[in-house]
Amino acid sequence: MLFMHLSRFSEDMILFSTPEFNIVEIGEAFCTGSSIMPQKKNPDALELIRGTSARAYANLSSVMVMMKGLPLSYNRDMQLDKEEFFDSVNMAQKVLMIMSGLVNSITINNNNMLQSFKDDESLFALDIADYLVKRGLTFTKAHAITGKIIAYCIDNKLKVSALSIDELNSFANKFDVSFYKELDAKRSVVKKSSTGSTNPVLVRQQINKWLKRLKDK
């Protein structure tokens, strides 16, 4: 599980550090230049951590294959699990040490992140559907109507916020000027209040919970 989570986190950070997203910037100490493209900044540490997870799973698979044919008592075959076990432990120690420093080196480009919401208002699709549900529609109907609105905007190269109330009401006679407030990233995040959601208060609670557990250990 450790390597799975580290690998997935690495993939997120690699993706978000690309010029297409440009949401995070990884410290120079954890990156290298390209052998052929001088301008390129490669997140090598993250790529190697992602790759290391394959070796950890190979070790696990090796042990599982060895164990699958054994009866439920000790067999000499089991002495051969030590190489894979210690290899995985050593990798975990090294990877966690590197990842700790890497995470502390990350800079978040807040402006770029917020700009992505302004550029692509289809990200507010769930907020649009919730808005319609609060005005009496079933979620199934709200979902379908939202899909039509988003498709219309894509076909006509429009933002949702560019649609007039009359245009919106042509899809469902449920809109008024209060709707435009829904097309706000911060408002969207704060509205999510279920356990494990993106609400800043709940995120902070999770951070504090894990900081406490780490401190206690």
Beta strands in 78-171 (DSSP E): 107-108
Strand 32-33, strand 41-42: pairing: antiparallel
**Does an H or E element contain 33, and which?**
strand 32-33
Domain with residue 14: its CATH number is 1.20.200.10
Indicate the number of domains in the chain.
Answer: 2
Instruction: Answer whether residue 202 is part of any domain.
Output: no
Whether the CB-CB separation of 26 and 102 falls below 8 Å is answered with yes
The distance from CA 215 to its chain's CA centroid, rounded to whole angstroms, is: 26
Residues 96 and 165 in one domain: no
Residues 102 and 27 in one domain: yes
pLDDT over 70 (residue 38): no
Q: What is the mean pLDDT of the chain?
A: 91
Q: Which of residues 108, 139, 155 is at a domain's end?
A: 108
Q: What is the pLDDT at residue 32?
A: 87
Domain that holds residue 172: 119-183
Q: Which of residues 59, 87, 108 is at a domain's end?
A: 108
Residues 145 and 96 in one domain: no
pLDDT tens for 148-162 read: 999 999 999 999 999
pLDDT over 90 (residue 114): no
